[in-house]
Amino acid sequence: MDDLHDALQDAQYIGAVTNALRGPSAPFYTPTQAEMQHFTSFQEQAHGSDWLSLENILHQPLGFYFFSRYCEAEHYGNAKLLFLIEITKFRLMQFDDDRLIQAKSIWTRFCTEAHENSDSFRSNSSTSPSIGYFCKRLNAAQCTNHRIVFWRKGESSLRRIETQQLYRQSACEKSVIGVSGGVFNRIQAILSAFMKLDTNSTRSVSTSSLSGKTSESSPRSTTSSCEVNAKSGREVANMTHHTLRCVFDELEACVLWSLEQLHLKDFLSSVFHRRLMIFFFLQHRPVSENDFTKLRVLGRGGFGMVNGCIKRTSAALYAIKVMNKKIIKQKHAERLCLAERKILAMISSPFIVCLKYAFQTSEELFLVLDLRTGGDLSFHLNRCRFTEHQVRFWAAQILLALEHLHEKNIAYRDLKPENILLDENGNCSLSDLGLAIEVTPNLTGRCGTRGYWAPEMLLRDSNNQRLAYTTVVDWWSFGCLVYELLYGKCPFRTSRAKALHEDKQMAYDKATLELNPLYDPKYFSPEATDFIQKLLIRDPKKRLGAHGVDEIRKQKFFSSIDWARMESMSISPPFVPHNELNAASQSDIGSFDISSMSGIHLNEQDRELYASWAYTSADVFQKESIEYLEWEIRNGPCSLASNSQACCILL
Binding-site residues from annotation for ATP: 321
Q: Which of 249, 370, 376, 414 is catalytic?
A: 414
Nearest to 481 by CA among 547, 415, 394, 421: 415
SS3 365: strand
Rounded to 5 degrees, φ, ψ at 608 are: -65, -30
Cα 350 to its chain centre, rounded Å, is 5
For residues 72 and 244, what is the distance between their CA atoms, to the nearest angstrom? 32
CA distance 350 to 370: 9
Question: Binding site: which residues?
Answer: 321
Written as one letter, the residue type at 597 is M
Closest to 646 (Cα-Cα) out of 23, 24, 16, 40:
24
How many other C-beta atoms can be found within 10 angstroms of the C-beta atom of residue 44? Answer: 13
Residue 355 has phi, psi (to 5 degrees) of -85, 135
DSSP letter for 633, please. H
Count the Cβ atoms, other than its own, within 10 Å of residue 240.
9
CA distance 384 to 582: 13
CB neighbour burial string for 124-151, b if at least 16 within 10 angstroms, e if fewer: eeeeebeebbbbebbeebbeebbbbbbb
566 and 400 in contact (C-beta within 8 Å)?
A: yes
Number of DSSP helices (H) and strands (E) in the chain, helices first: 31, 10
349: CB partners within 8 A, 6+ apart? 145, 400, 401, 404
β pairing state of 410-411 and 615-616: unpaired
Report the alpha-carbon distance of residue 507 to residue 495 in Å, rounded: 10
Residue pair 388/396 in contact (Cβ under 8 Å)? The answer is no
Q: Is 414 a catalytic residue?
A: yes
Contact 158, 218 (CB under 8 A): no
CA R_g for the chain: 29
Nearest to residue 143, comparing CAs of 615, 567, 556? 567
Catalytic annotation, residues = 414
